[in-house]
Structure 1
C-alpha cells in the first residue's frame, strides 16, 4: 500500500534522507522546510508524488497551512515524522535562557503542535503512524547537553503517553532514538553557549569538544537510518522505541543496569514509604 508521509525538517539530516528513501520506494511525501528552496531538489524528480511546503514548526499558521496543503494534494496523511530539531551545547549553569527556550519551542512544542494538528486526520482515518525523532539523549543524559536532553526526555514522555491514548484508534507511535550519526546535528544545527565556566571544563567542556570534534565522522549512516525507519513503519508490530546505532544500544543497556542497581539497593526504603491507612 502506498503511504503518504509528512516529514518535518527535510533540508538536512534524517529528514532529507528519509524523504528521498520514501519517494524512491514509491510512496508520496510532503517534504517540508523553513525555506522551500532548500528542498526543491528532493521533489523535482517526483512531480506527482511529492510537494515542497514551507514549515517553521514554531509558527502555528505554518503548521495549519502545511497540513491543509498535504490533505489538498494527497487526501490523507499516513505517517507523520516529527524530525525538525536543533542542538545546544553548554553546562546547565552556563546555558542561556533565550537559547534554551528556543530549543524547547522547536524540539518539543513544535513537535507537540504538529502532532495535535495531524491527529484529527488520523482519527478520522482510524489509521496512522506518528514517528518522533528523539535521541538516545532522551533516555540517557550527558554533560554539556542537559537542556537538549530535557527536550528529548519530554518528547519521549509525550510519545509514550500518546501511544497509550491512540492504540485503540489504529494510530501507532514510534520514538526514534539515534546515537551519533553523520548529520548536521553536531555541526551547524547546534549552537554553543557564549558563557564558559572553568569549573565545568572537565565535564561539560570536555564532552562538548569531543562531540564537536567528532562531527562528520560519527559511525551512524543516515541512509541506513532512513531504511530502518521505513522498515519500522512498514512492520505489522512496530516498536515503541527504535534505537539506532551501536552507541544507542550501549547507552540504553547501561541505563537499564543503572536503574536496576538503584532499584534493588533501595528496595526496602522504597516499599517502606507505603503504610496502611490508619
Structure 2
C-alpha cells in the first residue's frame, strides 16, 4: 500500500529530496511551504502524487486545520516529516531574545504542534512514523551556533521522550542528524549583531557560514534514500547521523563526554548523604 506523507519545507533541501524519494517509491506527498508557488515544478511532474499546501509552521493555529484536512481527504497520515528550518549564527551574548524565540518557534514549537496534530490519527491506526530533521548540532555544538543548537537539542530531547511514549502504540520516531549537505541552509541564515570580543571564537564560524553554501559535500538525494531505508527497517534507529562529518563529530563528542565523566567520576559519585 502506498503511504501518505506530510512534509514541511518541501520546496527545497531535504524536504524536496524526501518528497522526490517518496514519490519515486509510489507514495503521495502533501508538500507544505510558506509559498506554494515554489512547489510548481514538483506538482507539474507528479500531479497525482504531490499536493501543495500553504503552511508556515510557526502558524500553529493553522496546523490543526491542515492536518484535519489531509486526514479527511486521504484517510490517514503515514509519515510526518518535520523538516522546515533555518540557521542562525551569533555568540550567545550577541543573540537577542527575539532571535532565539523565533528559532524555537520554527524548530521546536512548530514540530511539537504538528506532532500533536497527527498523533491521534496515527494512534487510531496504531501505525505511523515521525521524522524530525535535527542536525549534528543537536548532539554537539561550537562557538556561533548557541541558538541553533539550543533548538536542535530541545527537539532531540522531546523526540527521545516521544519515542518512548509512542513506540508501544506502533509509531516510529526517527531523528535525523545531518552534517554539511548542499541544501541552501546557509543561504537563508540570520546573523546577530557582532560584538568585537567574539571575533576570534565566532568569527571563523561567521566566515564559514558566509562561504560554504553550494560547496557542501553531502548529497540531499542520498540523505533522503538513507531516511527511507531507516524507516523501512524492522528496527528503525532513534538517531541517524548522516555524512562522514556528522558521524565523526557525534562519535568524537560522545567519546569526549565519556572521558570527561570518567575523569570526574569519583567526585561526581560522592554526593549522596553520608549513611
| TM-score, with structure 2 as normaliser | 0.97
Q: Deviations over 1:81-113 (max 9, x none)?
A: 000111111111111221221111011110111
Match of 1:184 in 2: 184
Provide Cα deviations, 1:7-36, integer angstroms capped at 9, x if missing partner: 011121100111011112201111100111
**In the alignment, structure 1 residue 252 sits paired with structure 2 residue 250:** yes
Question: Partner of 1:172: helix, strand, or coil?
Answer: strand
Q: Once the 2 structures are TM-superposed, how far is the Cα of residue 260 of structure 1 from its aligned partner?
A: 1.0
Q: Distance in 2 between matches of 1:103 and 1:206?
A: 22
> In structure 1, how many angstroms separate the alpha carbons of the residues matched to 2:154 and 2:83?
15
Do structure 1's residue 111 and structure 2's residue 111 form an aligned pair?
yes
Q: Which 4+ runs in 1 deviate beyond 3 A?
A: none
> Does the Cα contact within 8 Å between 1:133 and 1:176 map onto a contact in 2?
yes
Query: 1: distance between equivalents of 2:109 and 2:117?
Result: 12
The equivalent of 2:271 in structure 1 is: 273
1:171-220 Cα distance to aligned partner (Å, 9 max, x none): 110100001000111112x1111x21111111111112113211110111
Q: How does 1:231-250 map to 2 (within 5 A)?
A: 231-250=229-248
Deviation at 1:271, TM superposition (A): 1.2
Aligned residue in 2 for 1:84: 84
Match of 2:150 in 1: 150
What residue in structure 2 maps to residue 264 of structure 1? 262
Partner of 2:70: 70
Q: CA deviation at 1:231?
A: 0.9
1:219-241 per-position Cα deviation (integer Å, ceiling 9, x unaligned) = 11111111111111111111100
Deviation at 1:40, TM superposition (A): 2.4
Gaps of 5+ in 2: none
Alignment-derived partner of residue 221 in structure 1: 219
Return the alpha-carbon distance in structure 1 between the equivalents of residues 109 and 66 of structure 2: 17
How far the C-alpha of 1:142 sits from its partner, in A, is: 1.4
Instruction: Tell me how far apart the structure 2 counterparts of residues 216 and 50 of structure 1 sit (CA, whole Å).
Output: 26
TM-aligned CA deviation for residue 44 of structure 1: 2.4
Say which SS state the counterpart of residue 185 (structure 2) adopts: coil
Structural RMSD (CA): 1.2
* C-alpha separation in 2, matches of 1:78 and 1:172: 10
Consecutive unaligned residues of structure 1, counting only runs of 5 or more, are none
CA contact (8 A) 1:31 1:43 kept: no
Map of 1:35 onto structure 2: 35
Q: State the 1:276 CA deviation.
A: 5.1
Quick one: distance in 2 between partners of 1:43 and 1:276?
68
* Partner of residue 22, structure 1: 22
The aligned residue for residue 46 of structure 1 is: 46
Deviation at 1:45, TM superposition (A): 2.8
C-alpha distance in structure 2 between counterparts of 1:127 and 1:57, whole Å: 24
The total of aligned residue pairs comes to: 275
Distance 1:204 1:31 in 2: 36
